Structure 1
Amino acid sequence: MMDNVKAKKHLGQHFLKDENVARKIADTLSLEGYDHVLEIGPGMGVLTKYLLDKPINVYVIEIDVESVAYLNGHYPKLHGHILSEDFLKYDINKVFEGKPLAIIGNFPYNISSQIVFRALDLRAQIPEFSGMFQKEVAERICEKKGSKTYGILSVLVQAFYEAEYLFTVSEDVFNPPPKVKSGVLRLRRKENFALPCSERLFFTVVKTAFGQRRKTIRNSLKTLNLSDNLRQDAIFDLRPEQLSVEEFIALTQKIEADGV
């Protein structure tokens, strides 16, 4: 048998070593509405083994060639289902051909937000997404308006998914231990996840508003060249963290009607 894989700092690897936590993460999946699950960054397969016990087609995507070799050597069930690729760049439909799938993982902290944005791009195909993040990021994704941590990720994710913070994981169940606690969340796509406004404009409005989060919406959205008439609307007196997801959608509708 191969030796264990050495964690690589540049890949943000912290290998989970607690079997109970791994099993709990695997159990976050409902297995409803999809026949495939893609695990991102499986490392040595601590979570993978629990996924393989479930009645679902398991695929893993791993950028680290040493981990890929380890998985090939230890998990014969995965043969043909290991994608030695970068999730952020890989076209998953080379494998999934438009079919729905769940995403799961103990995500590398240095790219976890990018993984979420990539999953949002694929939202029509991803009814469920769960896994482990740096605690602060997991909390931010699930945060509601009025909080300092509520931001772009919170609004964009919650526009399409019900976000639920499930449990906190301490540093000592990893090798090497990270400097911060971790948090596990689950996202379940809303039944009607098409927005009643231009989704492209919605993304622009949210990102632009939070780009200057201390300013009022009136000031932060100046670059959109809105009409003076629209800018008199009371919603423009607020700062972005004071707007709920629904209010951001309503704001986008108003901007759309304004002819942007």
Structure 2
Amino acid sequence: MKKKKFYKDAGQSYYSKDPVRAKKHLGQHFLKDEQIAQKIADTLSLENYTKVLEIGPGTGVLTKYLLAKELDLYAMDLDTESIDYLRNSFLLEHPSLKSPLNVFEIVEADFLKYDLSKIFGDEPFAITGNFPYNISTQIVFKALEWRDQIPEFTGMFQKEVAQRICEKEGSKAYGILSVLAQTFYEAEYLFTVPPTVFSPPPKVESGVLRLKRKEGFVLGCDEKLYFRLVKTAFGQRRKTIRNSLKPFNLSEELRETELFNLRPEQLSVEDFIKLCIRVEQDLS
């Protein structure tokens, strides 16, 4: 009989038949540092929501600290081995969890393809996690699609991605993700995490951020046009807005306005909104 491996975890002990193997094709790097896990769990304000979706729980180090809070937690992972580990070896009756528990469900699914209304209906929920590097930007784009139900989004990314999301105009790192995320959310870079606290350690540093939805925000222009405009502008970021937006066939009068002399990284979120309003008027 194979000997069980014994783990010591945050003052509690538990057994596991097999540790979860980190899979390169899934971009897995399992967090091992308890203090950092606690800090990430504490990034959630739990203001005006009680439901939380954790993406990529892996071995459950962050999950445990989330479950110690008064919330309903849904842990979603595509990795069958991680799902089995969480269900059979770790969290279902973990002695460090706050009791009585509200709701805890483990969901085996691909977040990028999953219909979140199956879990949350039309109720608000937050997203957090130690996100796989290879799909982290796609996670943000999907969260933006569900922004009406997501008042808060926190979690760990590759450092440069986290910084890019929070970057302001005037920087080379400022781009599509920066503008779209900051259009609807207040973005804050919280802290940096070294590679040494992961197994296996990544080759880069990680960064934790928080996105908090703007209260009462109204875009003021067509959403699809806005997304298209931002993506088109940064598609040729070295060119001025006048040149990058040529596919829109805008009037010469509009193309001669001041904003069209700038490159996309020089435009603030407010500038892009103004630009979209002017473009929408021009096209109507």
Give me the TM-score of the superposition, normalised by structure 2. 0.90
Q: State the secondary structure of the residue aligned to 2:61.
A: coil
Partner of 1:41: 56
Q: Distance in 1 between matches of 2:183 and 2:121?
A: 25
- Matching of residue 141 in structure 1 with residue 165 in structure 2: yes
Task: State the Cα deviation string for residues 96-118 of structure 1 (Å, max 9, x = none).
Answer: 11110000000000000000000
**Match of residue 107, structure 1, among 112, 131, 152:** 131
**Match of residue 39, structure 2, among 21, 24, 48:** 24
Kept after mapping to 2: 8 A contact 1:143/1:154: yes
Q: What does residue range 237-248 of structure 1 map to in structure 2 within 5 Å?
A: 237-248=261-272
Partner of 1:76: 92
Task: State the Cα deviation string for residues 41-76 of structure 1 (Å, max 9, x = none).
Answer: 000100000000000001111000000000101111
Q: Distance in 2 between matches of 1:197 and 1:104?
A: 29
Partner of 2:98: none
Q: Distance in 2 between matches of 1:80 and 1:188?
A: 24
Partner of 2:199: 175
Partner of 1:66: 81
Q: State the secondary structure of the residue aligned to 2:73.
A: strand
- The structural deviation recorded for 1:127 is 0.2
Q: Distance in 2 between matches of 1:116 and 1:169?
A: 20
- The structural deviation recorded for 1:193 is 2.9
Task: State the Cα deviation string for residues 199-247 of structure 1 (Å, max 9, x = none).
Answer: 1111011000000000000000000111111101111000000000000
Letter in 2 for 1:28: T
Partner of 1:228: 252
- The structural deviation recorded for 1:2 is 2.3
Letter in 2 for 1:115: I
- Matching of residue 215 in structure 1 with residue 239 in structure 2: yes
Question: Over aligned residue pairs, what C-alpha RMSD do you find?
Answer: 1.1
- The structural deviation recorded for 1:80 is 6.3
Kept after mapping to 2: 8 A contact 1:61/1:87: yes
Task: State the Cα deviation string for residues 126-185 of structure 1 (Å, max 9, x = none).
Answer: 000000000000000000000000000000000000000000000000000000000000
Q: Percent identity?
A: 67
Q: Distance in 2 between matches of 1:92 and 1:170?
A: 32
**Match of residue 227, structure 2, among 193, 203, 210:** 203
Partner of 1:191: 215
Give me the TM-score of the superposition, normalised by structure 1. 0.98
Kept after mapping to 1: 8 A contact 2:221/2:276: yes
Kept after mapping to 1: 8 A contact 2:156/2:206: yes
Letter in 2 for 1:22: A
Q: Distance in 1 between matches of 2:217 and 2:62?
A: 29
Kept after mapping to 1: 8 A contact 2:57/2:76: yes
Select between 11-20 and 189-198 the one with higher mean Cα deviation.
Answer: 189-198
4+ residue runs over 4 A deviation: 77-80
Q: What does residue range 244-259 of structure 1 map to in structure 2 within 5 Å?
A: 244-259=268-283
Q: Distance in 1 between matches of 2:158 and 2:61?
A: 18
Kept after mapping to 2: 8 A contact 1:133/1:182: yes
- The structural deviation recorded for 1:194 is 2.6
Letter in 2 for 1:38: L
Q: Distance in 1 between matches of 2:104 and 2:54?
A: 14
Kept after mapping to 1: 8 A contact 2:72/2:104: no
Q: Distance in 1 between matches of 2:238 and 2:282?
A: 24
Q: Distance in 2 between matches of 1:41 and 1:29?
A: 17
Kept after mapping to 2: 8 A contact 1:161/1:193: no
- How many pairs does the alignment contain? 260
Q: State the secondary structure of the residue aligned to 1:111.
A: helix
Q: Distance in 2 between matches of 1:99 and 1:66?
A: 30
- Matching of residue 126 in structure 1 with residue 167 in structure 2: no
